[in-house]
A and B are shown apart, each in its own frame.
Chain A
């Protein structure tokens, strides 16, 4: 051990300790590098099949050809008559079922403008589901305007709460990619999925509205509100998109509200002069048939609405309304 003047004493022991530390640091750096070593780099982004979700079939077997068309200006009374004709809500919702109600809450406008699902109708449906023994009822939609404002201004939030249902507002983490089997447009596309967790029954409630691009916004178009992302690109092929939406969702029951129909300036409306009293409530297990009936309220026929024909062709339902032997009644 040499120790010249000006040099600090440096023992062998210290040298060994320092060497050991240096060695450990080298080993750690080497180990971490080897562990994280990626010779190929990232691949082109692609959806892995395992991430995809699909919605289960919510229809009730044996009841999938039920349809009732009720005349009346009072939605609650019409609903009562309609459900009675189909064997009551109890036929569709059993004790312990978890129900999801998909409303049309697209716009932050007051209920009176009929651009969104009627809150009284929603409240009544929720109440009846819970009365039939449903364990829970959740109400959801991914609207076009600000979700919070939409559910507040339309009165849907209050209606749901008053009936004992829960509202789930969409947020970024609630969407999972889906691909429609047999479709070609909705592929690896974000679907509002979290609210469906544990759900066993699906009910859709939508108003009848004019829609410039597709011709009409009714039940099948209402599923648009389950999509996320920049979904508006689907407007380029709206009819096939609506068909695929109908293929994507197999509801328990759909309620098409034609008590008031938006005849012009749809789908936003904005004025009472856009509305017409058509006094019809359609409750159906066949979503295509519901839309086929709804079309007549807008003064249209099935052949004016290519998406209906496409949905029939895809086997989603029938546009031959009479083949379902609908119950027609009047609620006074």
Chain B
């Protein structure tokens, strides 16, 4: 079996495994549903997720340790993940085949030639990682001003070394070092002058372009809901995701680019590939020529997936280990070996110093820039309701990789990819929408936090979520508070009984309670003509037959207090029959009120957990008459309501 066949088997296996994980991310007890399948495994294997969260939080969360396996294997084998494992890479590979079918040999070879812009992916990598490095920088600033100069120098020096290693620019180090130290110094000064950490922040944005979160997001939020819309195997009814069209369009566009240039995304965009490219310079094994007896036939580049030019000086950072050159070489000159290629190799990414520095500086600067809107401060968006267990917003943004696992698993389909509700940096992070979906956030569900690969949503226990047992002192997890809109609520605004919200409130005692109120209906002040055994003839004829006989209407004598109302059992246009109530029988000629008994909903903010079931069920179906906003959410004190 040729090595290419083995690679294809591996690709098909991992793609199938990935798709299987997407399928089984359905809540349920069947064998093909979520019952211990490691559905986030590819995200955990992804070292960009691990590195990103290490930069932003200084910790490596639980199963992200899997990334170490990938890193070690990459250091030994090279970019094997791209060519052998990555499900998105396999998709590109397959679509690329379709694009090649009508091309001639020379066109194919031309299409696989290295393009200088393949370095864009390294810029993207540096940009995205430095966007996450803000708080590390802030730490440096703090240390710089509070600790000894020596510590500051060590810290600054290590940043420089890291940056140089990353860029592979060991040469001319003085100039680079000067610029970098200048840059860091500038931010240090900014921090000193403006109070540092308030503006300099870290935000994990790698998930925007990291292929693993991207492919999870695209398949789970766009592809599966479309595919399942007619079969209804994965969900009982249609799943909806707000703004999923954009996720789908970007996914399809990325795939279609392969028709023009094979593995377009991998060669030009992929920051994970770039990270592997940086690591691959140390790899023990690599592609290369065994001797220089090559006749330069070019067949090795006919199917070269990485565009890494094995014919000449092979570019190790771009080689995805597709092994097609091994098959293509009719003279067995190219091999996968430990010795460098006989025709030379390029181990550093093709990244200019200026490019790297620009990406670094703009990455560090972009987060303070997008936060100029103040959405993390006084201008926080009350419409941004995060899933239960979500960390405080700033910490949340340091961890969320926008993979959409929480949205996929949510049984009620209320977790959605955000648009700009959480600011530019919060695009595609989870936001609750109580209008879409089958209910609110269910009291007995903690699925989202248990699928979250980075603990941006903490995995809760049911006891913690509901505030039971040891969690009783802290109370249940609140994601917001419901507010009654008195201008839209039927009993408040329109004299109509309702209280659907109260009935559906799932906590005990209910967070929504009612106040009884008797309201005289329109044209409800009427005069009594005659009274005979519970049947009262009226002077006016304002009512339709049966209109006030629903069990909610009462006849009340003017000026008299409670207990002097009697329930209306029947009515015609000008007469009502009331239930016997000795005190309430009016005299002929007396003015009486026809009143409707209303139960007006009130929210007790100390009980409300913001689950949104009331909002979901409210019969005012457009803009709901009871709506949840993020005030009083457990995760943050900025919106607390209560003393």
Contacts and interface: CB of A to CB of B under 8 A. Distances in A.
A213 B579 contact: no
Nearest to A169: B236
Given A172-B238, A268-B505, A270-B443, 18 more contacts: A109-B506, A110-B444, A145-B438, A145-B613, A147-B236, A149-B27, A149-B411, A169-B236, A171-B237, A211-B503, A212-B502, A212-B599, A213-B503, A235-B500, A237-B552, A239-B551, A240-B550, A269-B508
B303 interface: no
A145 B413 CA distance: 12
Nearest to A184: B546
Contacts of A213: 497-500, 502-503, 599
Chain A CB within 10 Å, residue with most, of B232, B499, B551: B551
Interface of B: 27-29, 232, 235-238, 411-413, 437-439, 442-445, 490, 496-500, 502-510, 514, 546, 550-552, 567, 569, 579, 599, 613, 617-619, 621
30 contacts: A108-B439, A109-B443, A144-B613, A145-B438, A146-B411, A147-B236, A147-B438, A149-B27, A149-B411, A153-B444, A171-B237, A172-B238, A213-B499, A213-B502, A230-B619, A230-B621, A232-B498, A233-B619, A235-B498, A236-B619, A237-B550, A238-B550, A240-B550, A265-B508, A268-B506, A269-B508, A270-B506, A271-B508, A271-B509, A310-B551
Given A145-B442, A307-B551, A172 B508 contact: no
A152 interface: yes
Contacts of A110: 444
A266 to B, nearest CB: 8
Give the size range of A's interface with the partner: 35 or more
Given A108-B444, A153-B444, A213-B599, A268 B498 contact: no
A240 B503 CA distance: 18
Centre residue among B238, B504, B506, B514 by max chain A CB count within 10 A: B506
A230 B504 CA distance: 14
Contacts of A223: none
Contacts of B621: 230
Contacts of A230: 619, 621
Contact of B550 (A239, A265, A270): A239
Contacts of B235: 148
Contacts of A268: 503-506, 508, 510
A144 B508 contact: no
A267 interface: yes
Nearest to B494: A236
Nearest to A306: B551
A235 B509 contact: no
B236 A107 contact: no
A149 B445 contact: yes
Which of A153, A270, A274 has most B Cβ within 10 Å? Answer: A270
Contacts of B411: 146, 148-149
A267 B569 CA distance: 26
B2 to A, nearest CB: 47
Contacts of B579: 303
Interface in A199-257: 211-213, 230, 232-233, 235-240
A235 B613 contact: no
Interface string A109-130: 1100000000000000000000
A213 B443 CA distance: 23
A241 B551 CA distance: 11
Nearest to B621: A230
Max count, chain B CB within 10 A of own CB: residue among A145, A211, A233, A236: A145
Contacts of B550: 237-240, 306
Given A153-B444, A212-B514, A235-B498, A146 B28 contact: no
Interface in A141-192: 144-149, 152-153, 169-172, 184
Contacts of A306: 550-551, 567, 569
A267 B497 CA distance: 17
Contacts of B27: 148-149
A148 B236 contact: yes
